[in-house]
Structure 1
């Protein structure tokens, strides 16, 4: 995600080692679309579970 420009990483040369991550402006712009995805999953969770169960039973 760092390579894609979605987050930045700062490494601190300490003992024990410490790393901090932060969303970039591009990463922050992804929050709104992700919120809609989470809402869609919540509204379709029963259908998703049913599809998973059918798949696991070999009903493809």
Structure 2
């Protein structure tokens, strides 16, 4: 459900934040994002959304 809401959000519905990753984690995220032809930001939003959905379903 949350994933559907995230996909339908406009730019004005979004909040900006900063996250600091260890270099090796960021490198892995960049590689993953490139493999899926998406930005690191979009990938992180999808991963966090999925984690929240899994937590809420417990």
Same fold (TM over 0.5): no
Q: TM-score, normalised by structure 2?
A: 0.32
Q: TM-score, normalised by structure 1?
A: 0.32
The structure with the largest alpha-carbon Rg is 1
Higher relative contact order (CA 8 A, sep 6+): 2
- Which of the pair is proportionally richer in helix? 2
- Which of the pair is proportionally richer in strand? 1
